[in-house]
Amino acid sequence: MKKSLALLWTIAATVGLLVVGCNKNPNGPEDDGIAPPGVTDEQSAMKYYAINDEFVKNDEQTFADQDIQPTDYGYLVGKIDAAIIPLRWGRFIDSVSYRFTLEVQTGDSIAIGHLHKNINGTLKIKALRGTDTVLVLKPFRDISDRNIIFKRVRREPKRFWLNWLPVATSLVQGDTPANRDINITQIDLIARGRTVTITNPLNFYLRYHWLRLYNQGNDDVATFNGGDSVKVRVTLTSTSTSPDTDLVALRFGFNSLYKNRAKMNLVSQSGSTKIFERTFYVHNRPGFFHAAVEAATKATLFDDDVTKYSVSWWGVPYRVF
């Protein structure tokens, strides 16, 4: 934490000069004369912008499906004894509630907001049970967390909602708190000859594009052009040591118009620690997205017991120009 706070003060010294020249920031408040709905003070303004930040909104879209779709897990069929064999599946979010806490640092120039989500939904699995096709519905209650850094850019008493600007985000980290049988421990993002390694998603801040500081293990939000090749490598631990049990999917390029979900491939294993990889090619649609890894236990998809559900996910934000 001390290391991250040192970074925040470096940001404070630099962003004050840089943000003056930014007329309109897609991650920050619009410069108008009307406060956003429900905003009554600086703290509620930061909560509003934290929830409506483009990357925050996108992570909900990333981990939600609009339809029950296949994922290439077919290699497992015939190799394992399972209650059901999934043909198609989808994760559907019914409701999300938010809890936002804020810590203003000494000096009143930097604030760290923490956004916690309670996510209620249903995992729908179209599967074979023997020779019958069935639809299995598994209600879930997951959580996710992320941190957002704000920088004070002005002190206007009348238009107080413009006084703070979001300048950086941590990764999003989510799981099933009632059943933590699988846990992501590291993600490597490899692109354009560089590797970014993350082991603590809530303490690794990705600065928005106008900041150009490279220190203390943190980085800028990745920006890509259409056609760029990106390799994602994930390390995880699970309660199972069998190589054919953990199911890991890569979600990328997500918004309401563009969705991809693909199986990640197991490349190495040592006991309960496993490493999966997948390369994807960046689409041509500009916007804010996540390269998101979703790991699930075998029982999550291959068991019709509705209590058998455990997932872990991290989302790495990126932007396409």
> Which string of DSSP letters, residue by residue, matches 134-201?
EEEEEEEEEEEEEEEEEEE----SSSGGGSEEEEEEE-EEEE-TT---EEEEEEEEEETTEEEEES-G
**CA atoms of 50 and 114, how far apart (whole Å):** 9
> CB atoms < 10 A from the CB of 263, how many?
16
Across all residues in the chain, what is the average pLDDT?
A: 81
Q: In the chain, how many domains are there?
A: 1
Looking at residue 52, its pLDDT comes to 85
**Full residue range of the structural domain in which residue 137 is found:** 2-320
Where residue 213 falls among pLDDT bands split at 50, 70, 90? very low
C-alpha angle 202-204-206 in degrees, rounded to nearest 5: 115
Amino acid found at 260? N
Q: What is the mean pLDDT of residues 97-117?
A: 94
DSSP 57-82: HHHHHHT--SS-B--S-GGGTTTS--
* pLDDT above 80: residue 76: no
Q: Is there a contact between 259 and 294 (Cβ–Cβ < 8 Å)?
A: no
Where residue 218 falls among pLDDT bands split at 50, 70, 90? low
* pLDDT above 60: residue 314: yes
Q: What is the mean pLDDT of residues 293-312?
A: 93
Q: What is the mean pLDDT of residues 43-49?
A: 93
Looking at residue 11, its pLDDT comes to 35
Looking at residue 167, its pLDDT comes to 85
Residue 22 has which token pair? 């930014």
Where residue 72 falls among pLDDT bands split at 50, 70, 90? low
What are 174-183's pLDDT values in tens digits?
Answer: 999 999 999 9
* pLDDT above 60: residue 215: no
Supply the pTM of this predicted model. 0.80
What are 238-289's pLDDT values in tens digits?
Answer: 988 887 789 999 988 765 556 678 899 999 999 899 999 999 988 888 877 8
**CA atoms of 61 and 119, how far apart (whole Å):** 12
Secondary structure element (H or E) that encloses residue 3, with its range: helix 2-18
DSSP 10-28: HHHHHHHHHGGG-S--TTS
Where residue 107 falls among pLDDT bands split at 50, 70, 90? very high
Q: Is there a contact between 146 and 274 (Cβ–Cβ < 8 Å)?
A: no
Q: Give percent of the chain above pLDDT 90.
A: 47
Looking at residue 169, its pLDDT comes to 85
Amino acid found at 147? N
> CB atoms < 10 A from the CB of 262, how many?
15
